[in-house]
Amino acid sequence: MSAAALKAPQTSVLASADTREFVTLHIADQLFGVQVGDIHDVFALQQLTPVPGAGAEIAGILNLRGRIVTAIDARARLGLPKRPNGYAGMMAVGVERDGEAFGILVDAVGDVLRLEDSRFEPNPVNLDAMWQTVSKGIYRLDGSLLITLDIARILTPRNASAAPAEPVDH
């Protein structure tokens, strides 16, 4: 198992106190953004090993430069249909949470955009309820909408917020 990796930029000297930089991600026909500082790597998916019994959001595991990485299927996490050609040709953004490495599988990785904080808006009320749980807010761009993703929420399984079942007395 291997993955060809490209190192994502850590910080930019061009960003200022009133702007933020986002790596753009294409998932299905939607444009998403993740803050540059939240991403450790950007890499092309090479080989993925399925994990028996894992939920639909866990695409499998992969080896990234000798480290085992859990691959999260962004389409499944967002309630979008599977790609017709499976995981072939997908890209991933590498992130860390609580000392664990994750690769969020996306259709494509786009440009880095520097956006003014004044253009940031809260989630629209008509945004899909599931998407609202993983979005920090939006930016309106020329001809498209950039939904900003909260990595911590993307990595939290959808059912993790559900209350545990009460014990039943027999």
Give the model confidence (pLDDT) of 128-145 as tens digits.
999 999 999 999 999 899
Position 158 pLDDT exceeds 90 = no
Beta-strand (E) ranges in 14-155?
19-27, 30-35, 41-44, 58-64, 67-73, 91-97, 100-106, 108-116, 120-121, 135-141, 144-149
Angle (nearest 5°) at CA 3 between 113 and 41: 30
Question: What ranges do the domains of the chain cover?
Answer: 21-156
pLDDT the model gives residue 168? 36
pLDDT in tens, 98-134: 999 999 999 999 999 999 999 999 999 999 999 999 9
Tens of pLDDT, residues 67-76: 999 999 999 9
- Give the per-residue pLDDT at 4: 42
Q: Is the pTM of this model over 0.95?
A: no
Alpha helix stretches (DSSP H) within the chain:
74-77, 129-134, 151-154
Reply yes or no on domain 21-156 having CATH 2.40.50.180: yes
